[in-house]
């Protein structure tokens, strides 16, 4: 898309080792972000994603794939449930406008009560990942970050370094980590503060090349890089994210064929 992102800060191999053995941070502010609210938000998400989100509990996160009418993969991301009628949705960097329009297209004329707000530019985001990620973050928040206190694929809202933050415990790079979303005005401050907090643990920033290597080792796909114009979720070995027992969803016929 229109964004420019760091390819690397040092050697990608060194950055990968930092994440696997110590702690690394990457700026993921360019992720698309949508605030989806309304009485019918659960039904709309069930319709446009292959996964099911109406039964997602508040405070939990689920991975989702969006398909075109013919069943080919359009985009993917995470869906976090903030309340019964509110979700926080992330998309890939280059597809936020497309997905926002896709949501509006499939709710237009249906009478559904769903409202969308594109908050991509309102929030900066940093992923903190690695064996020492917990120790790094613990210096900056009073939140219980223990494995039992903050489980995988869960979300919490708290202050991190004094900034109001939505913490998602997810790991695209395959290590223990948190995706931090906070007001964009705190972006540079949060980056510098995290680097300072993790200095004793050998923290290192990593770029998109290291991210590509790390996620590939964990078999986490990047849409358009690992998929093309004919790839459906079954081709991408993501059958687990397709719920054929739902009443219907966009692309179901193309995938089932």
* Per-residue pLDDT reduced to its tens digit, 30-40: 999 999 999 99
Lowest mean pLDDT, pick from 137-141, 196-200, 226-230, 253-257 = 253-257
Nearest to 39 by CA among 148, 131, 113: 113
Per-residue pLDDT at 187: 97
Per-residue pLDDT at 1: 66
Mean pLDDT, residues 127-141? 98
CB neighbours of residue 101 within 10 Å: 11
Return mean pLDDT, the chain: 96
């Amino acid at each position: 898309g229109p964004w420019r992102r760091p390819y690397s800060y040092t050697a990608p191999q060194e950055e990968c080792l930092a994440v696997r053995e110590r702690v690394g941070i990457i700026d993921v502010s360019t992720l698309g972000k949508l605030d989806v609210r309304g009485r019918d938000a659960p039904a709309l998400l069930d319709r446009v994603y292959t996964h099911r989100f109406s039964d997602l509990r508040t405070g939990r996160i689920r991975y989702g794939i969006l398909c075109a009418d013919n069943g080919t993969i359009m985009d993917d991301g995470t869906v976090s449930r903030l309340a019964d009628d509110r979700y926080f949705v992330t998309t890939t960097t280059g597809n936020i406008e497309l997905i926002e329009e896709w949501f509006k297209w499939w709710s237009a004329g249906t009478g559904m009560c769903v409202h969308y707000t594109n908050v991509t530019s309102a929030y900066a985001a940093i992923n903190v990942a690695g064996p020492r990620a917990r120790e790094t973050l613990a210096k900056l928040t009073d939140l219980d970050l223990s494995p039992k206190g903050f489980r995988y694929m869960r979300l919490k809202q708290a202050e991190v370094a004094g900034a109001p933050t939505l913490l998602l415990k997810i790991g695209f790079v395959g290590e223990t980590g948190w995706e931090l979303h906070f007001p964009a005005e705190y972006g540079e401050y949060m980056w510098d503060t995290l680097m300072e907090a993790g200095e004793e643990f050998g923290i290192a920033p990593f770029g998109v090349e290291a991210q590509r290597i790390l996620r590939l080792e964990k078999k986490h796909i990047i849409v358009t890089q690992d998929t093309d114009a004919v790839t459906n979720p079954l081709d991408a070995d993501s059958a687990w994210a397709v719920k054929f027992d739902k009443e219907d969803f966009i692309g179901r016929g193309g995938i089932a064929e």
